[in-house]
Structure 1
Amino acid sequence: MNARDARAGAAPPETAHDAAPNPAHQLRATAIGAGAVLLWASLALFTTLTGRIPPFQLTAMAFAVGGALGLPRALRGGGTLRAVPRGAWVLGVGGLFGYHFFYFVALRNAPAVDAGLIAYLWPLLIVVFSALLPGERLRWWHAAGAVLGLGGTFLLVTGGQGVQLRGEYLPGYAAAAVCAVVWSAYSVANRRYPKVPTDMVAFFCLATAVLAAVCHLLFEDTVRPEGGQWLAALALGLGPVGGAFYLWDHGTKHGDIRLLGTLSYFAPLLSTALLIATGRADASWPVAAACVLITGGAMLASADALRAARRRG
């Protein structure tokens, strides 16, 4: 990163109507953001390989790795750290830490299947919230594609058995809902700061690691990782709980936010496929049905991009 890039971080937030997006650049940014979805698909596998490491401890470890991953480039920017708007700091740290904090609270206070399903409303909320952005317009096929993706995720999470919500788990359900709102709001509001360099995610990750470490000391007992657990924690930091956030930051700032929201439903599908391939889960009809629903939803939501690609061709 050079001095010009650093000065760009001081620029005021830019809204979507300030400049018409270049279709080729937007498509490339969307593809980069979709790379985060591919990395998130490995989250379940790597997490199972970490054994009994408590969630906040594991979060602190993974985000420390993720922050260190981008720190050299971020430091090379010189004055960038001081030039980043306060709102970008609140959004970045609040989004990364807030999502994980409320997700873990949800898991402590509600069954994992129920909490996970409610938390995974965030891709649908991204599509809905995108209508609030200047210059963006929510079409029926965007919403329909996101709903199909949600249906596929429902089948994956429940195994086709359905969900029975119970009153005693209301605090957990509420935390899961907040979790979904936090991540979707972060992803959409990130559009306000296109001039803040993606390298700054390194500092957001490190701040999240510190906050997670504090929560770990307050609420958990430390477990010393053994053998392959260190490698699994490292893989989390390089991939789904670290490196993926750099890709997502670029994608949400410069790509098609509605399409990214729908494509996010591929994460649980690919995650399940990876668990099946490694012998940690069994293939079943809900997986096949989810594949049809999520793929169909993604194709429906990407109608704009497909038509634009055909025009360019």
Structure 2
Amino acid sequence: MSEDTTLGAAVTEAAPSATSGAASVPRPSRRAATLAGVAAIGLWGSLALLSTSVRGLPPLQVLSSTFAVAALLGAARLARRGRGGLGALRQPLGSWILSVGGLFGYHALYFYALSAAPPVQVSVISYLWPLLIVLLSAVLPGGHLRRKHVAGALLGLAGVWMLVADGGAVRLSATHAPGYLAALGCALVWSTYSVLQRRFAEVPADAIAGPCAATAVLGLAGHLAFERTVVPTAGQALGLLALGLGPVGVAFFAWDHAMKHGDVLQLGVLSYGAPILSTLLLCVAGQAEASFQLLAACTLVTAGGLVSAVRARS
């Protein structure tokens, strides 16, 4: 794998050559890939704040527009390679199905869940995906699920639960069962997509440009079929651009690279930091108020990350 397949300035390290005198083959650094995943989580933390700038626009229109920006970003990255750039899109059919299914499937289910159930319950259920990543990572080649990772993930889940519930009980109603199932589908789709990316480690991260374009087309089809187009204002257009470049653009490229080459278990636990960071940014922007629940949630998520990172004694 060439250095062009890494994200930005991701560090590569030389793999031992099979025979003496043979040229060494660079491979992505596990630490750099994990840091790319942390960067993705940080960018997802800005999703809620940036989303406030596109209020009033239909959700599928937002989905299509932001993924179109992400696809253009990917195309620009591929163009830097010259004529060989398009070769990154010629990948196994399984990789295409997994990526399009993960990107479009998650967002389609999430938007439906929000329309069929209260957002608090949707948030709690859909944010089971970090815990599922931790559990599913055990099936990866060489995967070893440890109690510290499960404990860390459960602490993170407790923190998110406390945050979205705002100190109250999260009550479920049979009336909203379809929405709950869709939210659970979100968690299953995203965790499965993330973990199975490891099977396509040879596919460069830049190849995600293709699935982003496909997701944009599917989102546009859904928008034209079920929504009325709203012409965005200048502020909304800037918001769409920011979303497409950040939480939808760079974040997905970074996450793809991280799931293929980074520490999946650690990233699963650290993913609970996204909703916490999201709320903190909303507080800084004056669109949410700091509370005891927020402090307690931050404490639990931080504790979960620390617990999962503790090295076992030899």
**For 1:207 and 1:215, how far apart are their aligned partners in 2?**
12
State the one-letter code of the partner of 1:33. G
What amino acid sits opposite 2:214 in the alignment? A
In the alignment, which of 33, 40, 46 is matched to residue 29 of structure 1?
33
**Post-superposition shift, 1:277?**
0.3
Query: 1:57 pairs with 61, 64, 67, which one?
Result: 61
Alignment of structure 1 residues 127-276 onto 2, 5 Å: 127-276=134-283
Tell me by how many angstroms 1:227 deviates. Answer: 1.9
Q: Which runs of 5+ in 2 are unaligned?
A: 6-25
CA separation in 1, counterparts of 2:27 and 2:221? 43
Equivalent residue, structure 1, for 2:52: 48
Deviations 1:2-59 (A, max 9, x none): 7x979xxxxxxxxxxxxxxx99921221011110000000100111111211111001
- Taking the aligned partners of 1:96 and 1:78, their CA distance within structure 2 comes to 22
How much does 1:83 deviate? 3.1
Identity across aligned pairs (percent)? 51
Q: Does the 8 A contact of 2:71 with 2:210 survive in 1? A: yes
1:300 is the counterpart of 2:302: no
**Number of equivalenced pairs:** 292
**Would the alpha carbon gap of residues 66 and 24 (structure 1) be closer, same or farther in structure 2, given more than 3 Å must change?**
closer
The one-letter code sitting in structure 2 at the alignment partner of 1:46 is: L
Deviation at 1:70, TM superposition (A): 1.4
Scaled by the length of structure 2, what TM-score is found?
A: 0.88
1:116 to 1:206, Cα distance in 2 relative to 1, 3 A? same
Per-residue CA deviations over 1:76-111 (Å, capped at 9, x if unaligned) read: 334525630000000111110010010011111111
Give the AA of the match of 1:197. P
d(CA) in 2 for partners of 1:136, 1:123 = 16
Distance change in 2, residues 1:50/1:128 (3 Å): same
What's the TM-score, normalizing by structure 1? 0.89
- After superposition, the Cα gap between the structure-2 partners of 1:221 and 1:119, relative to the gap in structure 1 and judged at 3 Å, is same
- SS at 1:242 equivalent: helix
C-alpha root-mean-square deviation of aligned residues, in Å? 2.2
Secondary structure of the residue aligned to 1:280 is: coil
List runs of 5+ in structure 1 lacking aligned partners.
7-21
